[in-house]
Structure 1
Amino acid sequence: MHTIDEIIQSMASRGLRITDQRKTLAKLFAESPGYLAPKEVYEFMGKSYAGLSFDTVYRNLRVMEELGVLEQVMFEEGVKFKLHCREHDHHHHMICLQCGHTYPITYCPMEQTAVPDDFRVVKHKFEVFGYCKECVQEETAASER
């Protein structure tokens, strides 16, 4: 897990000005193991920063994602963010829909994708959604009660 100081240093090294709001975002994501929806981040930030707009929060999330500090994933209920994982090699994720735990997929499916000659790929994402062993066991135990 990234520390607050590591996140702040990562943002600063990429030229992002470090404001109190961004320090608070760093703390929030350092202490959150799973994915956070922009609305959750906005509600958390609103407790400390009166008058903060949703647009400002979302813009900061997008900037942090563009700089590689956060990862953005599209869930059925909308986009969510989490800290960028520490893995440096190109990889994808399997994501538990209940607890948000992620497992790296080290194989890239793009290697097996037939890309038409008249199409230039500039980036791609590949996520697999399901339930981790712990969440399946919890669900099974709850249904047996």
Structure 2
Amino acid sequence: MTVNEYMNQLKKRGYKKTDKREEMIRIFEREKRYLSAKEMLHSMQSTFPGLSLDTVYRNLSLFEQLDIVETTDLNGERIYRLNCSKGDHHHHLICLSCGKSRLIDICPLDALSEPPSEFVITDHKFELYGYCKECC
């Protein structure tokens, strides 16, 4: 999706199209990697000098609710990236150094011959962490 498509998606759902939200989406699109809220704030401070971390978190939370971004936790911190355009079930390899990710199509649940009868699985997450070729 393009920045304009994301912004139109916000507007269609009743949210204002703001310069800050648009800039956040532009940063995600440009970086093509997971970013922390602090990294996002740092990237935006030259354009929006009075921007607070709280505002960044509020917008990231909204983006997460609207499936604009996906999240994971790394070293006790939540990190964000634009939601993958790949619509089917998939998982990621995530570089611990630069935050770039790569899709992988394997799923550990495929190894289960049948789900446990005493447990209903509603969702899962599988991510592999390491270092990309550029960061090794």
Q: Same fold (TM over 0.5)?
A: yes
Within the alignment, does 1:128 sit opposite 2:95 as a pair? no
- 8 A contact 1:11–1:69 mirrored in 2: no
The alignment's C-alpha RMSD in Å is 2.3
In the TM superposition, residue 59 of structure 1 has moved relative to its aligned partner by: 1.4
> Which deviates further from its counterpart, 44-53 or 28-37?
44-53
Tell me what 2:8 maps to.
9
Tell me what 1:105 maps to.
104
In the TM superposition, residue 115 of structure 1 has moved relative to its aligned partner by: 5.3
> How far apart in 1 are the matches of 2:118 and 2:13?
34
- 8 A contact 2:23–2:44 mirrored in 1: yes
Q: What does 1:1-145 correspond to in 2, within 5 Å?
A: 2-76=1-75, 78-112=77-111, 116-136=116-136
> How far apart in 2 are the matches of 1:62 and 1:120?
27
In the TM superposition, residue 116 of structure 1 has moved relative to its aligned partner by: 4.7
- 8 A contact 2:33–2:81 mirrored in 1: yes
In the TM superposition, residue 40 of structure 1 has moved relative to its aligned partner by: 1.4
Residue ranges of structure 2 left out of the alignment (5+ in a row)? none
- Matched residues, percent identical? 39
In the TM superposition, residue 81 of structure 1 has moved relative to its aligned partner by: 0.9
How many residue pairs get aligned? The number is 135
Aligned AA (1:80): I
SS at match of 2:103: strand
Considering fraction of residues, name the structure with more helix.
Answer: 1
- 8 A contact 2:34–2:101 mirrored in 1: no
Tell me what 1:142 maps to.
none
Q: TM-score, normalised by structure 2?
A: 0.80
List structure 1 segments (4+ residues) > 4 angstroms apart after TM superposition: 113-118
- 8 A contact 1:35–1:80 mirrored in 2: yes
Q: Quickly say closer, same or farther: Cα 1:110–1:17, change in 2 above 3 A.
A: farther
In the TM superposition, residue 92 of structure 1 has moved relative to its aligned partner by: 0.7
> How far apart in 2 are the matches of 1:90 and 1:61?
23
